[in-house]
């Protein structure tokens, strides 16, 4: 898709990766609909972007039915007024680094809701208001394809999002709507606590710059890449884990003592 002058709706716009996606797409002359919970943060982001007046804001808490409905009503109204929306980027997400046994049930439900149910609901609504041709890009994670200790329910939610994206892409074949999936590895944002960042450093895991991730998001949209895994060697491990998981399990087993130490640290905090 040629991004120039296209109107794209971005959730989680004020987050570490979201704000960079907004900056990169605005620099490429896209017009953005920025979605977030905090109006003043959204306004500050809008003012920081190239051509601020070409962007719109929707204040919505996606974890509530009202938040989802607000997006739907606003986009339907634009459609009625003849304002096309060419794409949806489902980027909002959250996680919690903790053992399953230490999690509160509500924290598990909220995480799965935001990471999986919310993008599914937004995709369903978007089929009503997106113009054609259109792109939907779901932001996943390396952990959608590699089960990792401390992230059981995050892995589950992103694995669900990956399979959903694949199924919907196939379901919509020939309709003019494509569903893309991009999976970052560890990225330098506040999604990761100080303990998680330290753990990644201890394990020698690469941590990507959110601007670089945002540039890959834009490339994905331009090239209409259906599935993209970011980072080497993670993208290799993703493939190996699907076909022959034993080496991946063995590599993670070697890390388990360190991971356990950091899980205890995270739980004490
Ligand atoms: N950082 C990483 O290491 C990493 C790695 C792989 C994949 N990812 C994925 O990349 C995406 C962006 O993550 P990030 O690193 O940019 O995280 P982040 O900095 O924590 O930003 C997360 C965004 O999600 C939004 N959000 C959280 N709860 C919400 C809710 N109830 N309603 C509406 N929005 C809500 C936040 O909105 P507010 O601004 O309103 O708080 C924030 O903008 C996520 O899907 C994440 O799973 C991240």
Q: What CATH number corresponds to the domain at position 207?
A: 3.40.50.720
pLDDT at 265: 87
Among all chains, which residue has been given the structure tokens 């606003």?
A: 74
Q: Does 2 fall in a domain?
A: no
Measure 95 CA to ligand 1 centroid, in angstroms. Answer: 8
* 141 inside domain: yes
CA of 161 to the centre of ligand 1 (A): 15
User: Ligand 1 pocket, 189 CB below 6 A?
Assistant: yes
* Maximum separation of any 2 CA atoms in the chain, in Å: 58
Residue labelled with tokens 């680094």: 97
In a domain, 216, yes or no: yes
> How many CB atoms neighbour CB 108 within 10 A?
18
* pLDDT recorded at residue 125: 98
Q: Which residues of 134-155 are buried (b: 16+ CB within 10 A; e: fewer)?
A: bbbbbbbbbbbbbbbbbbbbbb
225 Cβ closer than 6 Å to some ligand 1 atom: no
- Please enumerate in sequence order all residues whose Cβ is within 8 A of that of 126, keeping only pairs 6 or more positions apart, or say none: 9, 75, 85, 88, 134, 136
Residue 206 maps to a domain: yes
pLDDT for 233 equals 94
Contact 30, 6 (CB under 8 A): yes
29 lines ligand 1 (CB under 6 A): no
Number of domains in the chain: 1
Assess whether the C-beta atom of 190 lies below 6 angstroms from ligand 1: yes
In a domain, 1, yes or no: no
Q: How many angstroms is it from 115 CA to the middle of ligand 1?
A: 9
**Residue 264 placed within a domain:** yes
Q: What is d(CA 98, CA 195) in angstroms, rounded to the nearest whole number?
A: 11
Residues 144/158, Cβ–Cβ less than 8 Å: yes
User: What pLDDT is stored for residue 268 in this prediction?
Assistant: 63
Give the ligand 1 atom nearest the CA of 13.
43
Q: Is residue 249 part of a domain?
A: yes
10-residue stretch averages of pLDDT, the chain, 269 residues long? 98 98 98 98 98 98 98 98 98 97 97 98 98 98 98 98 98 98 98 96 96 98 98 96 97 97 82
Distance of CA 107 to the CA centre of its chain: 18
Ligand 1 within 6 A of 216 CB? no
The CA 247 to ligand 1 mean position distance, Å, reads 31
Q: Is the C-beta atom of 162 inside 6 A of ligand 1?
A: no
* 137 CA to centre of ligand 1 in angstroms: 15
Q: DSSP letter at 117?
A: I
Ligand 1 contacts CB of residue 192 (under 6 A): yes
Any residues with CB less than 8 A from the CB of 6 and at least 6 apart, and which? 30, 31, 86, 87
pLDDT computed for residue 269 by the predictor: 52
Distance 17 CA to ligand 1 centre (A): 7
Ligand 1 contacts CB of residue 12 (under 6 A): yes
38 CB within 6 A, ligand 1: yes
In a domain, 142, yes or no: yes
| Ligand 1 atom, smallest distance to 207 CA | 3
Pick the atom of ligand 1 nearest to 143's CA: 6
Structural domain span for residue 243: 7-268
CA distance 231 to 218: 16
């Amino acid at each position: 898709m040629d991004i120039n002058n296209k109107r794209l709706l971005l959730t989680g716009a004020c987050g570490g990766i979201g704000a960079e996606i907004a900056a990169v797409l605005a620099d490429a002359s896209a017009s953005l609909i920025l979605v977030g919970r905090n109006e003043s943060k959204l306004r500050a982001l809008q003012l920081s972007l190239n051509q601020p007046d070409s962007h719109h804001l929707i204040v919505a808490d996606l974890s509530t039915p009202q938040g989802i409905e607000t997006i739907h009503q606003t986009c339907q109204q634009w459609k009625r007024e003849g304002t096309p929306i060419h794409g949806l980027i489902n980027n909002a997400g959250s996680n919690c680094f903790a053992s399953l046994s230490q999690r509160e049930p509500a924290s598990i439900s909220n995480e799965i809701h935001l990471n999986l149910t919310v993008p599914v609901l937004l995709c369903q609504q978007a089929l009503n208001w997106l113009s054609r041709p259109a792109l939907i890009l779901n932001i996943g994670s390396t952990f959608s394809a590699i089960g990792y200790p401390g992230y059981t329910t995050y892995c589950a939610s992103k694995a669900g999002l990956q399979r959903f994206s694949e199924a919907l892409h196939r379901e919509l074949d020939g309709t003019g709507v494509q569903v893309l999936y991009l999976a970052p590895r560890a990225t330098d944002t506040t999604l990761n606590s100080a303990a998680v960042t330290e753990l990644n450093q201890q394990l020698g895991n690469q941590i990507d710059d959110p601007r670089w991730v945002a540039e890959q998001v834009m490339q994905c949209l331009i090239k209409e890449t259906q599935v993209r895994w970011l980072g080497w060697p993670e993208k290799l491990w993703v493939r190996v884990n699907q076909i022959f998981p034993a080496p991946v399990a063995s590599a993670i087993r070697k890390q388990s003592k360190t991971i356990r130490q950091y899980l205890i640290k995270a739980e004490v905090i």
